[in-house]
A and B are shown apart, each in its own frame.
Chain A
Protein backbone atom coordinates (compact mmCIF):
# COMPACT_ATOMS: atom_id res chain seq x y z
CA UNK A 1 0.00 0.00 0.00
CA UNK A 2 1.13 3.51 -0.75
CA UNK A 3 2.62 5.60 1.99
CA UNK A 4 1.10 8.70 3.47
CA UNK A 5 2.61 11.48 1.32
CA UNK A 6 3.10 13.60 4.47
CA UNK A 7 4.96 10.88 6.33
CA UNK A 8 8.30 12.69 6.08
CA UNK A 9 6.78 15.94 7.37
CA UNK A 10 5.08 14.18 10.24
CA UNK A 11 8.28 12.44 11.22
CA UNK A 12 10.18 15.71 11.07
CA UNK A 13 7.68 17.41 13.37
CA UNK A 14 7.63 14.40 15.66
CA UNK A 15 11.38 14.68 15.99
CA UNK A 16 11.38 18.41 16.64
CA UNK A 17 8.32 18.52 18.83
CA UNK A 18 9.40 18.58 22.40
CA UNK A 19 7.12 16.57 24.64
CA UNK A 20 7.91 19.02 27.44
CA UNK A 21 4.95 20.94 28.84
CA UNK A 22 5.33 24.63 28.04
CA UNK A 23 4.18 27.62 30.05
CA UNK A 24 0.48 28.01 29.32
CA UNK A 25 0.53 24.80 27.26
CA UNK A 26 1.48 26.94 24.27
CA UNK A 27 2.44 25.11 21.09
CA UNK A 28 5.48 26.68 19.44
CA UNK A 29 5.99 24.35 16.47
CA UNK A 30 3.57 24.87 13.61
CA UNK A 31 1.97 21.64 12.47
CA UNK A 32 2.77 19.82 15.68
CA UNK A 33 -0.83 18.72 16.00
CA UNK A 34 -0.01 15.81 13.66
CA UNK A 35 1.98 14.36 16.53
CA UNK A 36 -1.23 13.85 18.43
CA UNK A 37 -2.99 10.93 16.77
CA UNK A 38 -6.63 11.85 16.71
CA UNK A 39 -8.16 8.56 15.63
CA UNK A 40 -8.36 7.17 19.16
CA UNK A 41 -11.97 8.02 19.88
CA UNK A 42 -13.40 6.35 16.75
CA UNK A 43 -16.33 3.97 17.17
CA UNK A 44 -17.04 3.22 13.49
CA UNK A 45 -14.34 2.95 10.85
CA UNK A 46 -14.61 3.22 7.07
CA UNK A 47 -14.18 -0.07 5.23
CA UNK A 48 -13.20 0.43 1.61
CA UNK A 49 -14.20 -1.77 -1.36
CA UNK A 50 -11.80 -1.03 -4.22
CA UNK A 51 -13.95 -2.85 -6.79
CA UNK A 52 -16.81 -0.39 -6.36
CA UNK A 53 -14.66 2.75 -6.38
CA UNK A 54 -14.82 4.99 -9.45
CA UNK A 55 -12.05 7.33 -8.18
CA UNK A 56 -14.26 10.39 -8.11
CA UNK A 57 -12.29 11.96 -5.14
CA UNK A 58 -15.47 12.95 -3.34
CA UNK A 59 -14.43 11.17 -0.14
CA UNK A 60 -10.93 12.64 -0.42
CA UNK A 61 -12.35 16.15 -0.85
CA UNK A 62 -14.88 15.96 1.97
CA UNK A 63 -12.96 14.20 4.73
CA UNK A 64 -12.75 16.86 7.46
CA UNK A 65 -9.58 15.55 9.06
CA UNK A 66 -8.18 15.02 6.30
CA UNK A 67 -7.46 11.37 6.81
CA UNK A 68 -7.82 10.23 3.23
CA UNK A 69 -5.04 10.47 0.71
CA UNK A 70 -4.73 9.01 -2.79
CA UNK A 71 -2.36 6.29 -3.87
CA UNK A 72 -0.43 6.21 -7.18
CA UNK A 73 -3.50 4.97 -9.00
CA UNK A 74 -5.68 7.66 -7.34
CA UNK A 75 -7.57 5.21 -5.12
CA UNK A 76 -8.37 6.52 -1.63
CA UNK A 77 -6.26 5.31 1.29
CA UNK A 78 -7.52 5.80 4.84
CA UNK A 79 -5.15 6.88 7.59
CA UNK A 80 -6.64 5.35 10.70
CA UNK A 81 -4.29 7.34 12.95
CA UNK A 82 -6.33 10.42 12.11
CA UNK A 83 -9.72 9.16 10.82
CA UNK A 84 -12.27 10.05 13.51
CA UNK A 85 -14.95 7.80 12.11
CA UNK A 86 -17.43 10.55 11.26
CA UNK A 87 -18.78 8.62 8.31
CA UNK A 88 -18.93 11.58 5.93
CA UNK A 89 -16.92 9.67 3.31
CA UNK A 90 -19.28 6.69 3.43
CA UNK A 91 -22.32 8.92 3.30
CA UNK A 92 -21.10 10.88 0.30
CA UNK A 93 -19.59 8.08 -1.77
CA UNK A 94 -21.82 7.79 -4.86
CA UNK A 95 -21.09 4.09 -5.41
CA UNK A 96 -21.28 2.98 -1.77
CA UNK A 97 -17.69 1.83 -1.94
CA UNK A 98 -17.24 2.81 1.70
CA UNK A 99 -19.08 1.13 4.52
CA UNK A 100 -18.88 2.18 8.18
CA UNK A 101 -18.25 -0.83 10.38
CA UNK A 102 -18.07 -0.97 14.17
CA UNK A 103 -14.47 -0.96 15.21
CA UNK A 104 -13.23 -3.92 17.19
CA UNK A 105 -9.90 -4.30 18.87
Chain B
Protein backbone atom coordinates (compact mmCIF):
# COMPACT_ATOMS: atom_id res chain seq x y z
CA UNK B 1 0.00 0.00 0.00
CA UNK B 2 1.31 3.46 -0.82
CA UNK B 3 2.11 5.42 2.31
CA UNK B 4 0.94 8.98 2.91
CA UNK B 5 3.28 11.24 4.80
CA UNK B 6 3.35 14.94 5.47
CA UNK B 7 6.64 16.31 4.20
CA UNK B 8 8.56 19.20 2.74
CA UNK B 9 9.34 19.31 -0.98
CA UNK B 10 12.97 18.60 -0.23
CA UNK B 11 12.03 15.44 1.63
CA UNK B 12 9.78 14.42 -1.24
CA UNK B 13 12.77 14.75 -3.58
CA UNK B 14 14.92 12.68 -1.21
CA UNK B 15 12.20 10.03 -1.06
CA UNK B 16 12.06 9.95 -4.84
CA UNK B 17 15.82 9.41 -4.92
CA UNK B 18 15.51 6.63 -2.35
CA UNK B 19 12.81 4.92 -4.40
CA UNK B 20 14.83 5.25 -7.62
CA UNK B 21 17.80 3.48 -5.97
CA UNK B 22 20.70 5.41 -7.48
CA UNK B 23 24.09 3.82 -6.90
CA UNK B 24 25.77 7.20 -6.43
CA UNK B 25 24.53 10.43 -4.89
CA UNK B 26 27.00 13.31 -4.84
CA UNK B 27 25.87 16.64 -3.48
CA UNK B 28 26.93 19.89 -1.91
CA UNK B 29 24.59 21.78 0.42
CA UNK B 30 23.01 24.98 -0.84
CA UNK B 31 19.88 26.80 0.28
CA UNK B 32 17.11 25.85 -0.35
CA UNK B 33 17.93 22.29 -1.46
CA UNK B 34 20.30 21.36 1.41
CA UNK B 35 17.74 19.09 3.00
CA UNK B 36 17.69 16.79 -0.04
CA UNK B 37 21.25 15.43 0.41
CA UNK B 38 20.86 15.70 4.18
CA UNK B 39 17.87 13.38 4.13
CA UNK B 40 19.57 11.07 1.63
CA UNK B 41 22.68 10.82 3.81
CA UNK B 42 20.35 9.81 6.64
CA UNK B 43 18.76 7.11 4.50
CA UNK B 44 22.22 5.84 3.58
CA UNK B 45 23.50 5.97 7.17
CA UNK B 46 20.43 4.10 8.39
CA UNK B 47 21.01 1.40 5.81
CA UNK B 48 17.72 2.20 4.08
CA UNK B 49 19.45 3.19 0.88
CA UNK B 50 22.27 1.28 -0.79
CA UNK B 51 24.04 4.20 -2.42
CA UNK B 52 27.51 5.67 -2.35
CA UNK B 53 27.00 9.12 -0.85
CA UNK B 54 29.88 11.34 -1.96
CA UNK B 55 30.49 14.48 0.04
CA UNK B 56 32.16 16.95 -2.29
CA UNK B 57 33.64 20.41 -1.88
CA UNK B 58 31.51 22.19 -4.45
CA UNK B 59 28.64 21.76 -6.86
CA UNK B 60 31.10 21.58 -9.73
CA UNK B 61 32.52 18.47 -8.08
CA UNK B 62 29.07 17.12 -7.27
CA UNK B 63 28.01 17.06 -10.88
CA UNK B 64 31.46 15.88 -11.97
CA UNK B 65 31.20 12.93 -9.59
CA UNK B 66 27.77 12.17 -11.04
CA UNK B 67 29.22 12.29 -14.55
CA UNK B 68 31.93 9.84 -13.47
CA UNK B 69 29.40 7.52 -11.85
CA UNK B 70 27.05 7.65 -14.79
CA UNK B 71 29.91 7.14 -17.24
CA UNK B 72 30.79 4.03 -15.25
CA UNK B 73 27.26 2.82 -15.93
CA UNK B 74 25.25 3.41 -12.75
CA UNK B 75 22.24 5.52 -11.84
CA UNK B 76 23.35 8.86 -10.33
CA UNK B 77 21.45 11.62 -8.57
CA UNK B 78 22.19 15.05 -7.14
CA UNK B 79 20.35 18.13 -5.94
CA UNK B 80 21.18 21.82 -6.03
CA UNK B 81 19.85 25.33 -6.67
CA UNK B 82 20.75 28.78 -7.89
CA UNK B 83 24.46 29.60 -7.71
CA UNK B 84 25.17 25.92 -7.17
CA UNK B 85 23.54 25.07 -10.47
CA UNK B 86 25.37 27.97 -12.11
CA UNK B 87 28.64 26.55 -10.81
CA UNK B 88 27.77 23.24 -12.50
CA UNK B 89 27.18 25.00 -15.81
CA UNK B 90 30.12 23.71 -17.86
CA UNK B 91 29.69 20.13 -16.66
CA UNK B 92 25.99 20.16 -17.55
CA UNK B 93 26.92 20.31 -21.22
CA UNK B 94 29.35 17.44 -20.73
CA UNK B 95 26.71 15.25 -19.07
CA UNK B 96 24.30 15.85 -21.94
CA UNK B 97 26.93 15.50 -24.68
CA UNK B 98 28.12 12.22 -23.20
CA UNK B 99 24.46 11.17 -22.98
CA UNK B 100 24.51 10.38 -19.28
CA UNK B 101 21.01 10.08 -17.78
CA UNK B 102 21.74 11.81 -14.47
CA UNK B 103 18.74 13.20 -12.60
CA UNK B 104 18.98 16.33 -10.52
CA UNK B 105 16.47 17.96 -8.17
CA UNK B 106 16.52 21.76 -8.16
CA UNK B 107 14.99 23.96 -5.49
CA UNK B 108 14.32 26.79 -7.96
CA UNK B 109 15.96 29.91 -6.57
CA UNK B 110 16.98 33.34 -7.84
CA UNK B 111 20.53 34.27 -8.79
CA UNK B 112 22.82 36.95 -7.37
CA UNK B 113 23.29 39.90 -7.30
CA UNK B 114 21.78 40.97 -4.98
CA UNK B 115 22.03 37.78 -2.96
CA UNK B 116 18.59 36.30 -2.66
CA UNK B 117 17.66 32.81 -1.54
CA UNK B 118 13.99 32.90 -2.48
CA UNK B 119 12.06 31.52 -5.37
CA UNK B 120 12.22 32.22 -9.04
CA UNK B 121 13.30 30.08 -12.00
CA UNK B 122 16.28 32.03 -13.22
CA UNK B 123 18.64 29.18 -12.23
CA UNK B 124 17.12 26.43 -14.36
CA UNK B 125 15.96 28.75 -17.12
CA UNK B 126 19.57 29.85 -17.55
CA UNK B 127 20.49 26.19 -18.18
CA UNK B 128 17.86 25.57 -20.79
CA UNK B 129 20.38 25.15 -23.62
CA UNK B 130 22.61 22.58 -21.94
CA UNK B 131 20.82 19.53 -23.34
CA UNK B 132 19.16 18.64 -20.03
CA UNK B 133 15.46 17.93 -19.97
CA UNK B 134 13.51 20.19 -17.64
CA UNK B 135 10.44 19.40 -15.56
CA UNK B 136 8.69 21.83 -13.19
CA UNK B 137 6.62 20.64 -10.21
CA UNK B 138 3.49 22.37 -8.94
CA UNK B 139 3.52 20.73 -5.51
CA UNK B 140 5.49 18.27 -3.39
CA UNK B 141 3.73 15.25 -4.83
CA UNK B 142 4.74 16.35 -8.31
CA UNK B 143 8.32 16.86 -7.15
CA UNK B 144 8.44 13.22 -6.08
CA UNK B 145 6.59 11.87 -9.11
CA UNK B 146 8.48 13.91 -11.70
CA UNK B 147 11.84 12.73 -10.37
CA UNK B 148 10.76 9.13 -10.92
CA UNK B 149 9.43 10.02 -14.38
CA UNK B 150 12.66 11.90 -15.13
CA UNK B 151 14.71 8.78 -14.44
CA UNK B 152 12.41 6.72 -16.62
CA UNK B 153 12.67 9.08 -19.58
CA UNK B 154 16.36 9.91 -19.13
CA UNK B 155 17.37 6.24 -19.19
CA UNK B 156 15.25 5.32 -22.20
CA UNK B 157 17.51 4.23 -25.06
CA UNK B 158 15.77 6.64 -27.42
CA UNK B 159 16.68 9.53 -25.12
CA UNK B 160 19.70 9.03 -22.84
CA UNK B 161 19.82 12.62 -21.69
CA UNK B 162 20.09 14.04 -18.18
CA UNK B 163 17.09 15.68 -16.57
CA UNK B 164 16.44 18.34 -13.96
CA UNK B 165 13.28 18.59 -11.90
CA UNK B 166 12.57 22.04 -10.50
CA UNK B 167 10.40 22.76 -7.48
CA UNK B 168 10.02 26.27 -6.14
CA UNK B 169 12.30 27.40 -3.32
CA UNK B 170 10.54 27.58 0.08
CA UNK B 171 7.08 27.58 -1.51
CA UNK B 172 7.69 23.86 -2.03
CA UNK B 173 11.13 22.98 -0.70
CA UNK B 174 10.27 24.04 2.87
CA UNK B 175 6.50 23.73 2.98
CA UNK B 176 4.87 20.59 4.29
CA UNK B 177 2.14 18.88 2.33
CA UNK B 178 0.73 15.37 2.35
CA UNK B 179 2.65 13.28 -0.17
CA UNK B 180 1.88 9.77 -1.29
CA UNK B 181 4.98 7.60 -1.27
CA UNK B 182 4.56 4.84 -3.82
CA UNK B 183 5.39 1.23 -3.06
CA UNK B 184 8.98 0.29 -3.73
CA UNK B 185 7.96 -2.75 -5.78
CA UNK B 186 5.84 -0.66 -8.12
CA UNK B 187 8.64 1.89 -8.54
CA UNK B 188 11.04 -0.98 -9.27
CA UNK B 189 8.65 -2.23 -11.94
CA UNK B 190 8.29 1.26 -13.38
CA UNK B 191 11.98 2.11 -13.52
CA UNK B 192 13.63 -1.29 -13.87
CA UNK B 193 17.36 -1.56 -13.52
CA UNK B 194 19.63 0.82 -15.39
CA UNK B 195 21.81 -1.29 -17.68
CA UNK B 196 23.47 1.05 -20.17
CA UNK B 197 24.68 -0.29 -23.49
CA UNK B 198 26.58 2.84 -24.46
CA UNK B 199 28.44 4.08 -21.37
CA UNK B 200 29.99 1.64 -18.92
CA UNK B 201 33.19 0.78 -17.12
CA UNK B 202 34.51 -2.65 -18.06
CA UNK B 203 38.27 -3.28 -18.12
CA UNK B 204 37.66 -6.21 -20.46
CA UNK B 205 35.99 -3.89 -23.00
CA UNK B 206 37.89 -0.60 -22.92
CA UNK B 207 36.13 2.44 -24.40
CA UNK B 208 36.91 6.15 -24.60
CA UNK B 209 34.30 8.57 -23.29
CA UNK B 210 34.43 12.32 -23.55
CA UNK B 211 37.06 12.26 -26.28
CA UNK B 212 38.10 15.15 -28.49
CA UNK B 213 35.63 15.84 -31.27
CA UNK B 214 37.24 17.39 -34.31
CA UNK B 215 35.28 19.80 -36.50
CA UNK B 216 34.64 16.74 -38.66
CA UNK B 217 32.60 15.11 -35.88
CA UNK B 218 31.40 17.80 -33.46
CA UNK B 219 28.31 18.90 -35.37
CA UNK B 220 27.09 15.34 -35.78
CA UNK B 221 27.62 14.67 -32.07
CA UNK B 222 25.56 17.76 -31.19
CA UNK B 223 22.91 16.73 -33.69
CA UNK B 224 22.44 13.44 -31.86
CA UNK B 225 21.71 15.43 -28.66
CA UNK B 226 19.13 17.43 -30.60
CA UNK B 227 17.60 14.21 -31.95
CA UNK B 228 17.51 12.65 -28.48
CA UNK B 229 15.69 15.71 -27.15
CA UNK B 230 13.19 15.43 -30.00
CA UNK B 231 12.67 11.73 -29.20
CA UNK B 232 12.06 12.69 -25.58
CA UNK B 233 8.63 14.12 -26.52
CA UNK B 234 7.29 10.68 -27.39
CA UNK B 235 9.08 8.97 -24.51
CA UNK B 236 7.73 11.48 -21.97
CA UNK B 237 4.20 10.91 -23.26
CA UNK B 238 4.66 7.16 -22.85
CA UNK B 239 6.13 7.61 -19.37
CA UNK B 240 3.17 9.77 -18.33
CA UNK B 241 0.79 7.04 -19.55
CA UNK B 242 2.64 4.31 -17.74
CA UNK B 243 2.93 6.40 -14.60
CA UNK B 244 -0.83 6.87 -14.58
CA UNK B 245 -1.39 3.13 -14.98
CA UNK B 246 0.97 2.27 -12.15
CA UNK B 247 0.40 5.13 -9.73
CA UNK B 248 -2.92 6.64 -10.70
CA UNK B 249 -1.72 10.19 -11.16
CA UNK B 250 -1.91 11.83 -14.58
CA UNK B 251 0.67 14.24 -16.00
CA UNK B 252 0.61 16.31 -19.17
CA UNK B 253 3.31 18.28 -20.97
CA UNK B 254 0.88 21.19 -20.66
CA UNK B 255 -2.00 20.81 -18.24
CA UNK B 256 -5.06 22.90 -19.01
CA UNK B 257 -7.57 24.30 -16.55
CA UNK B 258 -10.93 25.66 -17.72
CA UNK B 259 -9.53 26.54 -21.13
CA UNK B 260 -12.28 25.18 -23.36
CA UNK B 261 -14.26 28.39 -23.91
CA UNK B 262 -11.61 30.76 -22.55
CA UNK B 263 -10.79 33.96 -24.39
CA UNK B 264 -7.90 34.73 -22.06
CA UNK B 265 -5.51 31.99 -20.98
CA UNK B 266 -2.76 32.44 -18.40
CA UNK B 267 0.16 30.04 -18.86
CA UNK B 268 2.78 29.42 -16.20
CA UNK B 269 4.95 26.75 -14.57
CA UNK B 270 5.66 25.43 -11.08
CA UNK B 271 3.78 26.30 -7.91
CA UNK B 272 2.28 29.46 -9.41
CA UNK B 273 -0.05 27.16 -11.34
CA UNK B 274 -1.79 26.29 -8.06
CA UNK B 275 -2.41 29.96 -7.30
CA UNK B 276 -3.64 30.49 -10.85
CA UNK B 277 -6.28 27.77 -10.62
CA UNK B 278 -7.85 29.40 -7.57
CA UNK B 279 -7.72 32.77 -9.23
CA UNK B 280 -9.38 31.38 -12.35
CA UNK B 281 -12.21 29.94 -10.23
CA UNK B 282 -12.78 33.39 -8.78
CA UNK B 283 -12.77 35.12 -12.16
CA UNK B 284 -15.07 32.47 -13.62
CA UNK B 285 -17.57 33.25 -10.86
CA UNK B 286 -17.39 36.85 -11.99
CA UNK B 287 -18.29 35.64 -15.47
CA UNK B 288 -14.94 36.15 -17.21
CA UNK B 289 -14.05 33.65 -19.90
CA UNK B 290 -10.64 32.83 -18.56
CA UNK B 291 -8.51 29.71 -18.19
CA UNK B 292 -5.09 28.63 -17.03
CA UNK B 293 -2.40 26.26 -18.21
CA UNK B 294 0.65 24.80 -16.56
CA UNK B 295 3.74 23.75 -18.44
CA UNK B 296 5.15 20.66 -16.70
CA UNK B 297 7.85 20.03 -19.29
CA UNK B 298 9.89 22.97 -20.51
CA UNK B 299 12.68 21.07 -22.31
CA UNK B 300 11.90 19.63 -24.74
CA UNK B 301 9.58 22.58 -25.35
CA UNK B 302 6.09 21.09 -25.86
CA UNK B 303 5.58 22.76 -29.22
CA UNK B 304 2.54 20.78 -30.42
CA UNK B 305 0.75 20.96 -27.07
CA UNK B 306 1.51 24.66 -26.92
CA UNK B 307 0.10 25.25 -30.41
CA UNK B 308 -3.06 23.36 -29.45
CA UNK B 309 -3.41 25.56 -26.36
CA UNK B 310 -2.77 28.73 -28.34
CA UNK B 311 -5.56 27.82 -30.77
CA UNK B 312 -8.07 28.03 -27.93
CA UNK B 313 -7.22 31.54 -26.72
CA UNK B 314 -7.64 35.04 -28.07
CA UNK B 315 -5.07 36.32 -25.59
CA UNK B 316 -2.39 34.07 -24.21
CA UNK B 317 -0.56 35.59 -21.24
CA UNK B 318 2.70 33.98 -20.22
CA UNK B 319 3.63 34.51 -16.58
CA UNK B 320 7.21 33.68 -15.71
CA UNK B 321 9.61 34.08 -12.84
CA UNK B 322 12.70 34.75 -14.92
CA UNK B 323 14.02 37.33 -17.30
CA UNK B 324 16.19 37.03 -20.36
CA UNK B 325 17.76 40.48 -20.37
CA UNK B 326 17.45 42.24 -23.67
CA UNK B 327 14.46 40.26 -24.88
CA UNK B 328 11.96 39.55 -22.07
CA UNK B 329 10.62 36.31 -20.68
CA UNK B 330 12.51 33.23 -21.81
CA UNK B 331 9.39 31.08 -21.99
CA UNK B 332 7.70 33.87 -23.92
CA UNK B 333 10.51 33.88 -26.47
CA UNK B 334 10.14 30.10 -26.90
CA UNK B 335 6.39 30.43 -27.22
CA UNK B 336 6.89 33.00 -29.94
CA UNK B 337 9.14 30.57 -31.77
CA UNK B 338 6.40 27.93 -31.60
CA UNK B 339 3.79 30.30 -33.07
CA UNK B 340 5.76 32.46 -35.46
CA UNK B 341 4.71 30.61 -38.62
CA UNK B 342 1.21 29.64 -37.50
CA UNK B 343 -1.60 31.17 -39.52
CA UNK B 344 -3.96 31.75 -36.62
CA UNK B 345 -2.42 32.84 -33.38
CA UNK B 346 -3.54 34.61 -30.24
CA UNK B 347 -2.12 37.86 -28.94
CA UNK B 348 0.87 36.74 -26.92
CA UNK B 349 1.64 38.74 -23.77
CA UNK B 350 4.84 38.70 -21.77
CA UNK B 351 4.62 39.00 -17.95
CA UNK B 352 7.60 38.98 -15.59
CA UNK B 353 6.38 38.20 -12.10
CA UNK B 354 7.46 37.10 -8.62
CA UNK B 355 11.21 37.45 -9.03
CA UNK B 356 13.36 36.71 -5.98
CA UNK B 357 10.50 35.31 -3.93
CA UNK B 358 8.13 38.23 -4.25
CA UNK B 359 4.65 36.89 -3.51
CA UNK B 360 2.33 36.64 -6.47
CA UNK B 361 -0.98 37.98 -5.14
CA UNK B 362 -4.47 38.02 -6.59
CA UNK B 363 -4.01 41.81 -7.05
CA UNK B 364 -1.01 41.05 -9.27
CA UNK B 365 -3.08 38.60 -11.26
CA UNK B 366 -5.85 41.21 -11.57
CA UNK B 367 -3.24 43.46 -13.18
CA UNK B 368 -2.40 40.67 -15.62
CA UNK B 369 -6.08 40.29 -16.47
CA UNK B 370 -6.54 44.06 -16.90
CA UNK B 371 -3.68 44.21 -19.39
CA UNK B 372 -4.96 41.09 -21.16
CA UNK B 373 -8.44 42.61 -21.46
CA UNK B 374 -6.98 45.77 -22.96
CA UNK B 375 -5.09 43.68 -25.51
CA UNK B 376 -8.29 41.73 -26.21
CA UNK B 377 -10.04 45.04 -26.95
CA UNK B 378 -7.35 45.91 -29.43
CA UNK B 379 -5.52 48.39 -27.25
CA UNK B 380 -1.76 48.55 -27.41
CA UNK B 381 -0.01 47.28 -24.26
CA UNK B 382 3.60 47.06 -23.09
CA UNK B 383 5.71 44.40 -24.82
CA UNK B 384 7.22 43.23 -21.54
CA UNK B 385 5.12 43.73 -18.41
CA UNK B 386 6.78 43.68 -14.98
CA UNK B 387 3.98 42.84 -12.57
CA UNK B 388 4.15 43.91 -8.93
CA UNK B 389 7.15 46.14 -9.60
CA UNK B 390 7.56 48.82 -6.89
CA UNK B 391 7.89 51.70 -9.30
CA UNK B 392 7.87 54.17 -6.40
CA UNK B 393 11.36 53.15 -5.30
CA UNK B 394 12.91 53.32 -8.72
Residues of A within 8 A of B (CB): 21-28, 30, 33, 36
Contacts of A24 in B (CB 8 A): 97-100, 160, 198-199, 209
A25 touches B198 (CB 8 A): no
Q: How far is A72 from B199 in the complex, measured between Cα atoms in Å?
A: 43
Chain B binding site: helix, strand, loop or mixed by DSSP? loop
B160 touches A27 (CB 8 A): no
Contacts A26-B199, A36-B214 given; indicate if A21 touches B206 (C-beta within 8 A): no
Chain A binding site: helix, strand, loop or mixed by DSSP? loop
Contacts of A36 in B (CB 8 A): 214, 216
A25 touches B207 (CB 8 A): no
Q: How far is A99 from B224 in the complex, measured between Cα atoms in Å?
A: 44
Q: How far is A25 from B213 in the complex, measured between Cα atoms in Å?
A: 8
Interface positions of B from 256 to 278, Cβ below 8 Å from A = none
How many Å from the CB of B178 to the closest CB on chain A? 40
Contacts of A27 in B (CB 8 A): 207-209, 211
Residues of B within 8 A of A (CB): 97-100, 160, 198-199, 206-209, 211, 213-214, 216-217, 220-221, 223-224
The 29 sampled A-B contact pairs (Cβ below 8 Å) are: A21-B220, A21-B221, A21-B224, A23-B99, A23-B199, A24-B97, A24-B98, A24-B99, A24-B100, A24-B198, A24-B199, A24-B209, A25-B97, A25-B98, A25-B211, A25-B217, A25-B224, A26-B198, A26-B199, A26-B207, A26-B208, A26-B209, A26-B211, A27-B209, A27-B211, A28-B207, A30-B206, A33-B208, A33-B211
Q: How far is A25 from B100 in the complex, measured between Cα atoms in Å?
A: 12
Contacts of B214 in A (CB 8 A): 36
Return the chain B residue nearest A38 by Cβ.
B214
Return the chain B residue nearest A30 by Cβ.
B206
A-B pairs with beta carbons under 8 A, tally = 44
Contacts of B98 in A (CB 8 A): 24-26
CB-based closest 7 A-B pairs: A24-B99, A27-B208, A25-B221, A23-B198, A21-B220, A24-B98, A23-B99
Q: How far is A26 from B199 in the complex, measured between Cα atoms in Å?
A: 8
Q: How far is A58 from B83 in the complex, measured between Cα atoms in Å?
A: 51
Given A21-B223, A25-B213, A27-B209, 9 more pairs with CB closer than 8 A:
A21-B224, A22-B198, A24-B160, A24-B198, A24-B209, A25-B97, A25-B224, A27-B207, A30-B208
